[in-house]
Structure 1
Amino acid sequence: MNPVIDISELTKRYGGTTAVNGLTFTVHPGRVTGFLGPNGSGKSTTLRMILGLDRPTGGTVTVAGRPFRDRPRGLRHVGALLDAHDVHGGRSAEAHLWALARGNGIPRGRVGEVLREVGLADVARRRIGGFSLGMRQRLGIASALLGDPPVLLFDEPLNGLDPEGVKWVRDLFRRLAAEGRTVFVSSHLMSEMEHTADQLVVIGRGELLAAESLVDFSARGTRRHVAVTTPAATALRDLLTAEGATVHAEGERLTVTGLDAVRVSEIARLHALPVHELATRTASLEEAFMELTADRVQFSGGETR
């Protein structure tokens, strides 16, 4: 089975509101694909349609060639974490996972395996209601892994995790992708996607903005600048400004836009000004994202959904 997620002209309307509008993209195995978009962009709705929880108004979405809702024992095909709070607080972690395993024909021994994998073996019999958000996130990841599925979907999986937990999740996603699985991660943490994702799918107001590699997407950013370190910062700043550059000075460090590194170097050399560092800096993932989605932001503040 080729665990590809195929989305074609996917559309979802709620009355007069269009949440997702004609989305078309493919999520391939063997890599971590980040799913990004501003508030109200339709990411959560798209994930729910992949899982068959919401029915599309138009278009199609398949996992390994079939709609997910048509697959019995779904956890063997797709594992998902959509909401870490969507669990019965009165149950223990072990009981919660065993209920899922029983309903999906998964051996009971698998429950202990995933609890150990996510670091919850010592609290397996504690009530979930007493878990921290980070512990609930780990339990949600355990639920996704339970059926050892070839496709995994995660919605904001890093919420509530400490730095050690974030590194653990990052390493887990990379390992799962290296095993040939399809790993699709929705997150508002741009810096984390910069360290985790290989591919990106970016949407805004329910429409596709980009589906490409992380490197290609970051290169979209036009906010490139030249970083200069020099003991003659004031003199070089004045010369560069006279050439039409915009220069931000902070001690011996200059940030230059409007001139490339070659021209900055020529000006410094022509006036015998010493330069200790000269480098072109490209846009970060966050800068490229903000630039691309600037006119697609529906809400301001809060988390990206």
Structure 2
Amino acid sequence: MIEVNGLTKRYGGTTAVDDLTFTVRPGRVTGFLGPNGAGKSTTLRMILGLNAPTGGSVTVDGQPFRGRPRGLRHVGALLDAADVHGGRSAAAHLAVLARSNAIPRERVAQVLREVGLAEAGRRRIAGFSLGMKQRLGIAGALLGDPPVLLFDEPLNGLDPEGVRWVRGLFRQLAGEGRTVLVSSHMMREMENTADHLVVIGRGALIADQSLAEFAGRGARPSVTVRTPEPDALTALLTAQGAAVRPDGEGALAVTGLTGPRIAELAFERRLLLTELTPRGLSLERAFMELTADHADHLAGDPR
């Protein structure tokens, strides 16, 4: 497990991480979410011992990670896919990591095949796309076959096939009983991948709960409706206790009534419906609502 207890990091008068406490457990994918500047990357760096906390503590399997002499055998991490020596080949980069962590050399070829870079192993990293660098970073994280894995924005630059592959990889690693912590801004992918969420804002904990529980804290499920007579339908549904608001491009978002009930009411009044689409609980909607007061940069914010 990763155990974070009262973790705090200050830079002068700025508090980047504020008394943060949470546990990342094995056997599930934990999404680590928060607006820009929330303190996610700083927290990940403190887990790995790259930044020293101002207060509190963080342990991996009961002890600070910095105290482990062969770190890649215990924790694999991808923090910045671009933070590699461009003059080296992919195989040479991984070989250095393997040697410094007493990992058998044959693991280099194995992980290159696993991430889809077997044919690019001898190429210089400077010629890699961002997506290829992400794959190489994931290969480095897997190199020591560790029980704990950390990924910071691992989907950036990946094409749709790469995104699908990473999603399956994370589920596989968790299914093997490993501890998997993924920081990402891609809510749709987190919705399809994560089992549990740790959400922070301005360095403080906002939520530590299952994906379903967090999504349920946001707006109620709604129904998207389109009709040639929006005013008449709005009046009808409002009279039945529903809340109706414009939802872009002529659509209406209705909460408080189910899709079948909306269809029944419209039929009784002979109102044509051209769309009736239920919208379930959404991670993105819940995230935007629950972190709005914790974001430092909001487009259109009058401040």
Q: Which amino acid aligns with 1:106?
A: I
1:239 aligns with 2:236: yes
Contact 1:240 1:247 in 2 (8 A): no
- Candidates 271, 285, 288, aligned match of 1:287: 285
TM-score (norm 2): 0.90
Alignment of 1:206-285 (within 5 A): 206-228=203-225, 235-242=232-239, 245-248=243-246, 254-257=252-255, 259-261=256-258, 264=262, 267-268=265-266, 271=269, 281-285=279-283
- Candidates 150, 156, 159, aligned match of 2:156: 159
Residue 264 of structure 1: how far off its partner (Å): 4.4
1:94 match: 91
In 2, Cα distance between equivalents of 1:225 and 1:50:
39
Residue 188 of structure 1: how far off its partner (Å): 0.8
Contact 1:232 1:252 in 2 (8 A): no
- Candidates 100, 103, 106, aligned match of 2:103: 106
Superposed CA RMSD: 2.4
Residue 15 of structure 1: how far off its partner (Å): 1.1
2:135 match: 138
Contact 1:237 1:249 in 2 (8 A): no
- Candidates 278, 290, 296, aligned match of 2:294: 296
In 2, Cα distance between equivalents of 1:40 and 1:247:
32
2:73 match: 76
Distance 1:251 1:40, change over 3 A: closer
2:48 match: 51
Contact 1:8 1:22 in 2 (8 A): yes
Which string of whole-angstrom CA distances, capped at 9 and with x for unpartnered residues, describes residues 9-58 of structure 1?
Answer: 00011111110000000001111111000011000000000000011111
Contact 1:219 1:282 in 2 (8 A): no
Secondary structure at 1:299 match in 2: coil
Contact 1:240 1:264 in 2 (8 A): yes
TM-score (norm 1): 0.89
1:205 aligns with 2:210: no
- Candidates 127, 146, 151, aligned match of 1:149: 146
Residue 204 of structure 1: how far off its partner (Å): 0.1
Which string of whole-angstrom CA distances, capped at 9 and with x for unpartnered residues, describes residues 120-173 of structure 1?
Answer: 111111111111111110000000000000000000001111000110111100
Alignment of 1:11-50 (within 5 A): 11-50=8-47
Contact 2:244 2:252 in 1 (8 A): no
In 1, Cα distance between equivalents of 2:238 and 2:59:
55
In 2, Cα distance between equivalents of 1:25 and 1:203:
11
Q: Percent identity?
A: 69
Q: Which amino acid aligns with 1:294?
A: A
In 1, Cα distance between equivalents of 2:295 and 2:253:
28
Residue 263 of structure 1: how far off its partner (Å): 6.8
In 1, Cα distance between equivalents of 2:156 and 2:274:
41
Q: Which amino acid aligns with 1:48?
A: R
Distance 1:68 1:229, change over 3 A: same
Distance 1:14 1:246, change over 3 A: same
